[in-house]
Chains A and B, each alone.
Chain A
Amino acid sequence: MAVYKRGYNRYQGSLTGRLTRLMVLPRFAWQRLLEQRLVIIVMVVSIFWPLACATFIYISNHLELLEGMGNGASKLLEINGTFFVIFMNFQATMAVILASIAGPSLIAPDLANGALPLYLSRPVTRTDYVVARMMVLVGLLSPVTWVPGLLLFVMQSGMAGWAWFSAHWSIAVGLIAGFMAWILLVALVAMACSAYVKWRIIAGALVLGFYFVLAGAATMINAVLRVDWGSVLNPAKAMDQIWRAMLGAEATSGPGAWACAVSMAVVAMLLIAVLERKLRPVEVIS
């Protein structure tokens, strides 16, 4: 029996924008993560180093507190790009630990529950889904990375004055961009591991293992081939070089910032390819 009568009306009201719709997806994930005690503990621990750095900045701007230590102290306590690179390296480690705890629950439950068709049968593309999942980690890692970094920069600018700010404003740009690049890499690693391993502990170990294995491989290449370019494979080392270039700090020995940037871009592309392959709304059993 064919039905020809049209007895309904399409919704004619206004709709929210794409970004608003996208931000709906991470909200349960944030809620769930912030209910985990371990996540809260790591986030609290992540505040200690910024607090120490803040103390350091305060002292460096109040050298009268260190009377008697001579000129060496003022040189030692100089706040510059190197100071912020050291800050970034420590916080980057905390970000990896946090991602290894939060990351495994990003995608694996959706794959296990067959939730991808549900998301993707709405006005959401696969890219939207990945971006939304990435937002979970961006939201979680920002308070331990660029946010405290920027606060430290503002604090130093406030204490040291306009002259220091105008000479070092690029540090703030480098700090935000550098941490964003790190968050992107960490998030891609976490999501790729989550897409392949459904057991949280194993996926978390895999996230941490990713950095150790690459660092080990880099060391091995350097030792066996008697070269130093192998360090481009070590994400921590490569990022350190990139950050140093961005923040105007002195570079360490090894491959240059551009080589490291290309290497990290390739790693990111490979991780995206892994996600592209795994995140499909249908599972085909051959």
Chain B
Amino acid sequence: MSVPEIIFDEVSKFYGEVLGVNRVSLRIPPGITSLVGPNGSGKTTLMNLMTGLVHPDRGRITVRGLSPRDPEQMMRVTGYATQYDAAPRGTTGFDFVSTGLLVYGYKPAEARERAWTALERVSLTDAAQRKVAAYSKGMRQRVRLAQALAHDPEVLVLDEPLNGLDPLVRAETIALFREYAAQGRHVILSSHVLQEVDVISDQVILIANGMILAEGEIRSVRDEIQEHPSQFLIRCRDASSVASMLFSQDHITQIKLADDRLGLLVMTRNREEFSKALTQIALGGHSIESVIAADENVDALYEYLIGGGR
């Protein structure tokens, strides 16, 4: 069975003289994919391209086999939540979502039912009949999400969807994304909260200056970055002697001893050799409580590939 993917094939988009994205080639499988990059890096352009709001100057895009140039077909399988408050003035949350469904072509009764279900999914039924203008920031975020998923899309594209949500709703929303992803749908989101991206993403796309710096599972991307030593946190009882044994290895570049002398931060240029060495130390009778990769996260990838300034 072929996997429905979102495919960017050598896609470039310029807004006059302003670069949107340049020669982007991507194959995004179903699951949760996070777009990560600084402001103006091209994240929103990528989202707009995959939702057909803008069309590429060069290259080709297909979204689960559909062309974004065919809005009749494309828009039925995509749901887009921008970061803007887009509800018409005086509209209630329920009207906002149900009107969107009417535009999709659902009959009024079906639209009402689906709108209610969508509002339930984002825990907004209590405020459904209140005007969107009176909503808090988090509630507006949720109603935007509700209008994006009300028609049960196969591709959810969400610009900063977790901004302004309280911890409980945030957890519920993440669970909702996971449920969508588990059903074989695409959930594409952009976020500046890298720890969150780390937790929820199946894969990440790092973008800067309109170019893709890295894409794939976080671990795979980290493996590709050779110029930065891998970092591991080791918890053990005799940290000093473990440190001295590790330091004799050529691939170890730096070791920092924790203040409590029960932990080490080790930097290595060869993960496999490091693994072997650590196994030898453990077999030699030293008690190793835990080993955690300290830079197998989006935060570290961002730092290595894009640098500061975010």
Contacts and interface: CB of A to CB of B under 8 A. Distances in A.
A, B co-complexed: yes
Interface of A: 1-8, 10-11, 13-17, 20-21, 24-25, 27-29, 31-32, 109-110, 113-115, 117-125, 281-282, 284-286
Contacts of B147: 118
A107 to B, nearest CB: 12
B103 A117 contact: no
A7 B71 contact: no
B174 interface: no
B184 A115 contact: no
Interface in B166-216: 181-185, 202
A142 B202 CA distance: 55
Contact of A114 (B3, B29, B75, B82): B82
Specify the main secondary structure of chain B where it touches its partner. loop
A233 to B, nearest CB: 32
A120 B100 CA distance: 11
A17 to B, nearest CB: 8
B18 A4 contact: no
23 contacts: A4-B30, A4-B184, A5-B184, A8-B152, A8-B183, A8-B184, A15-B105, A21-B103, A21-B104, A24-B102, A31-B90, A113-B86, A113-B87, A117-B80, A121-B52, A121-B53, A122-B100, A123-B75, A281-B48, A281-B53, A284-B15, A285-B18, A286-B17
B295 interface: no
A282 B44 contact: yes
A253 B27 CA distance: 68
Given A16-B102, A114-B83, 6 more contacts: A4-B1, A109-B89, A117-B84, A121-B80, A123-B105, A286-B17
Given A121-B51, A123-B104, A1 B31 contact: yes
Contact of A5 (B44, B105, B183): B183
A6 B184 contact: yes
A3 B202 contact: yes
B113 to A, nearest CB: 11
Contacts of A21: 102-105
Specify the main secondary structure of chain A where it touches its partner. loop
Interface residues of B, number: 56
A5 B3 CA distance: 9
B183 A15 contact: no
A115 B71 contact: no
A118 B89 contact: no
B267 to A, nearest CB: 28
A121 B103 CA distance: 11
Contacts of A32: 88-90
A10 B31 contact: no
Contacts of B106: 13, 15-16
B67 to A, nearest CB: 14
Contact of A123 (B30, B54, B76, B110): B76
A115 B86 contact: yes
A16 B154 CA distance: 21
Contacts of B18: 284-286
A234 to B, nearest CB: 36
Nearest to B80: A121
Contacts of A115: 84, 86-88
Interface string B76-111: 111110111111111100010001101111110010
A110 B91 CA distance: 13
B96 to A, nearest CB: 9
Contacts of B48: 117, 281-282
B260 interface: no
Contacts of A282: 15, 44-45, 48, 53-54
